[in-house]
């Protein structure tokens, strides 16, 4: 990409993660021309270009079937704590100065030269997330940076966070209420996606930020549950981690949380399955195969696994063996259809459902083992007696 656009540089997360030796996520490129010029030069270089984010200075080019975002260098003209009005600039340092943290403000040119105006490389090595410029000012321009701080601290920070940043964030808590729910939820998800966000969350609680954006999670018990969840299953799963943080919740509380965060329908549904009210207590360790098959039939494999993990997060009792068996056992599927009842000559009506459910209940009670023939035999018996 840099070859197709002489004068452009890789910026932001790509430079940071390359220096940190981490796997590179998306490729972000910046160039010292207005977006229209960027689009023109990319087309001249023979690339396909989409002008999707032109107003923000971003065009998307497709290189080897991979979308690459190329953004014009920007300068903030006006900020109000949520949005910025920007102008294009040709000055790399000015563009770097409007970025949030020193580790995010580096760029890398086509010759492999690192442009590091604010000591980002040193901070990355020292594991310090430091604001570019005065933390209080940078927060007042965009309060979302308070949440971004914890996200980057969780990934790149060490044990001692930058004291100036923490103090300024604690003082900026009232400004968080002005952020849009979408931006808040998106940052929280990205924080929960870090390998281990627990220390960052504890710091978030201590500064009052967690209480302001996610009061449901601001209890010590939630952090303990999250620690145990991560010990049992380190693979990041933001929604499962949120469920561990908030613990079991009544439907009204869940609805309020999901509504406030503007969660998608899928997210809402999964969260309420994970931590909504349940008919039975969470399972104790050492389930037998019948009980495990019932769980699998009732919840499906993903939710059954999540249920075992949340149970372990709750009481700290090891369920690794249960989870291993839940991963291996086939998910039982009740072998009859409504048509099977009709085929026996039962007329349409509520009796169909009653018979079907009676056999399903019998199948379930037996550990979901009966095959289709056995279920049909049972159905014939039910038809005779019922
Ligand atoms: P990730 O790999 O998690 O996406 P990233 O560094 O790419 O990390 P993004 O949120 O994608 O993070 O932002 C890209 C870059 O844009 C950041 O590295 C930073 O330089 C800049 N940036 C993004 N949001 C802000 C903000 N609110 N204030 C200042 N700079 C920002
Ligand atoms: Mg990114």
Please name which of 33, 39, 26 lies closest in space to residue 8, comparing C-alpha atoms. Answer: 33
Out of 87, 121, 155, a domain closes at 121
**For residue 273, what are its two tokens?**
């399955």
Same-domain pairing of 105 and 185 = no
Residue with the larger pLDDT of the pair 218 and 131: 131
Side-chain-side CA neighbours of 228 within 13 Å: the count stands at: 22
Structure confidence at residue 218 as a pLDDT band (50, 70, 90): confident
In ligand 1, which atom is closest to the CA atom of 155?
Answer: 3
Same-domain pairing of 193 and 114 = no
Q: Strand runs (DSSP E) across 37-147, as ranges?
A: 48-53, 58-63, 66-72, 74-79, 84-88, 107-109, 114-115
Q: Does the pLDDT at position 386 exceed 80?
A: no
Average pLDDT, the chain: 95
What is the residue with the minimal CA distance to atom 14 of ligand 1? 12
Structure confidence at residue 32 as a pLDDT band (50, 70, 90): very high
Same-domain pairing of 133 and 245 = yes
Within 6 Å (CB) of ligand 1, which residues are found?
A: 12-13, 25, 28, 99-100, 104-105, 142, 144-145, 148, 190
Domain limits for position 67: 1-121
Beta bridge partners of 69: 28, 60
Determine the pLDDT at residue 258.
97
What is the residue with the minimal CA distance to atom 4 of ligand 1? 13
In ligand 1, which atom is closest to the CA atom of 25?
Answer: 2
Determine the pLDDT at residue 219.
82
Same-domain pairing of 265 and 180 = yes
Determine the pLDDT at residue 4.
82
Whole-number Å distance, alpha carbon 113 to ligand 1 midpoint, is 21
183: three-class secondary structure by DSSP? helix
Same-domain pairing of 138 and 257 = yes
Same-domain pairing of 70 and 4 = yes
* Cα–Cα dist 79/146, whole Å: 16
The β-bridge relationship of strands 48-53 and 107-109 is unpaired
Same-domain pairing of 246 and 178 = yes
What is the tally of structural domains in the chain? Answer: 4
Determine the pLDDT at residue 223.
96
Structure confidence at residue 14 as a pLDDT band (50, 70, 90): very high
Contact at 8 Å (CB) between 209 and 176?
yes
Beta bridge partners of 101: 131
What is the residue with the minimal CA distance to atom 6 of ligand 1? 13
**For residue 210, what are its two tokens?**
């967690």
Q: Give percent of the chain with pLDDT exceeding 90.
A: 92
Whole-number Å distance, alpha carbon 79 to ligand 1 midpoint, is 17
Average pLDDT over residues 79-101: 96
> How many residues are given for the chain?
386
> What is the pTM for the complete model shown?
0.93
Same-domain pairing of 44 and 156 = no
108-163 confidence digits (pLDDT tens): 999 999 999 999 999 999 999 999 999 999 999 999 999 999 999 999 999 999 99
Q: Does the pLDDT at position 66 exceed 90?
A: no
Determine the pLDDT at residue 262.
96
Burial of 259 (0-12, 13-18, 19+ CB in 10 A): exposed
Determine the pLDDT at residue 144.
98
CATH number, domain with residue 79: 3.30.460.10
Structure confidence at residue 20 as a pLDDT band (50, 70, 90): very high
Please name which of 218, 213, 226 lies closest in space to residue 183, comparing C-alpha atoms. Answer: 213
In ligand 1, which atom is closest to the CA atom of 105?
Answer: 20
Same-domain pairing of 116 and 134 = no
Same-domain pairing of 95 and 145 = no
11: three-class secondary structure by DSSP? strand
19: three-class secondary structure by DSSP? helix
**For residue 144, what are its two tokens?**
């979302």
Same-domain pairing of 202 and 178 = yes
Please name which of 198, 217, 188, 229 lies closest in space to residue 312, comparing C-alpha atoms. Answer: 229
67: three-class secondary structure by DSSP? strand
Same-domain pairing of 45 and 107 = yes
Out of 332, 352, 375, a domain closes at 332
Out of 97, 121, 145, a domain closes at 121
């Amino acid at each position: 990409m840099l070859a197709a656009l002489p004068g452009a540089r890789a910026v932001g997360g790509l430079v940071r993660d390359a220096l940190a030796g981490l796997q590179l996520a998306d490729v972000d490129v910046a160039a010292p021309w207005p977006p229209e010029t960027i689009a023109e030069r990319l087309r001249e270089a023979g690339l396909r270009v989409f002008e999707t984010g032109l107003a923000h200075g971003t065009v998307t080019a497709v290189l080897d079937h991979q979308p690459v975002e190329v953004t014009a260098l920007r300068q903030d003209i006006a900020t109000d704590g949520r949005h910025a009005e920007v102008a294009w600039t040709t000055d790399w340092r000015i563009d770097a100065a409007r970025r949030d943290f020193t580790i995010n403000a580096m760029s890398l040119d086509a010759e492999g030269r690192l442009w590091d105006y604010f000591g980002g490389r040193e901070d990355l090595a020292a594991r310090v997330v430091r604001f570019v410029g005065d933390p209080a000012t940078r927060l007042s321009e965009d309060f979302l940076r308070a949440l971004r701080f914890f996200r980057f601290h969780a990934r790149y920070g060490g044990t001692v966070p930058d004291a100036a940043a923490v103090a300024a964030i604690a003082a900026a808590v009232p400004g968080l209420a002005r952020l849009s729910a979408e931006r808040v939820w998106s940052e929280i998800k990205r924080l929960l996606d870090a390998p281990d966000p627990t220390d960052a969350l504890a710091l978030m609680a201590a500064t009052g930020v967690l209480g302001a954006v996610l009061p449901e999670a601001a209890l010590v018990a939630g952090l303990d549950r999250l620690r145990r969840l991560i010990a049992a299953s380190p693979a990041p799963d933001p929604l499962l981690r949120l469920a561990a943080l908030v613990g079991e919740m009544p439907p009204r509380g869940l609805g309020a949380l999901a509504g406030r965060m503007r969660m998608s329908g899928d997210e809402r549904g999964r969260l309420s399955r994970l931590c909504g009210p349940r008919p039975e207590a969470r399972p104790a360790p050492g389930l037998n195969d019948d009980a495990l098959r019932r769980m699998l039939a009732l919840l499906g494999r993903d939710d059954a696994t999540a249920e075992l993990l949340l149970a372990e997060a709750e009481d700290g009792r090891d369920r690794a063996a249960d989870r291993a068996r839940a991963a291996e056992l086939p998910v039982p599927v009740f072998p009859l259809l409504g048509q099977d009842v009709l085929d026996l000559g039962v007329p349409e009506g509520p009796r169909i459902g009653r018979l079907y459910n009676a056999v399903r209940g019998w199948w379930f009670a037996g550990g979901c083992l009966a095959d289709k023939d056995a279920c049909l035999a049972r159905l014939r018996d039910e038809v005779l007696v019922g």
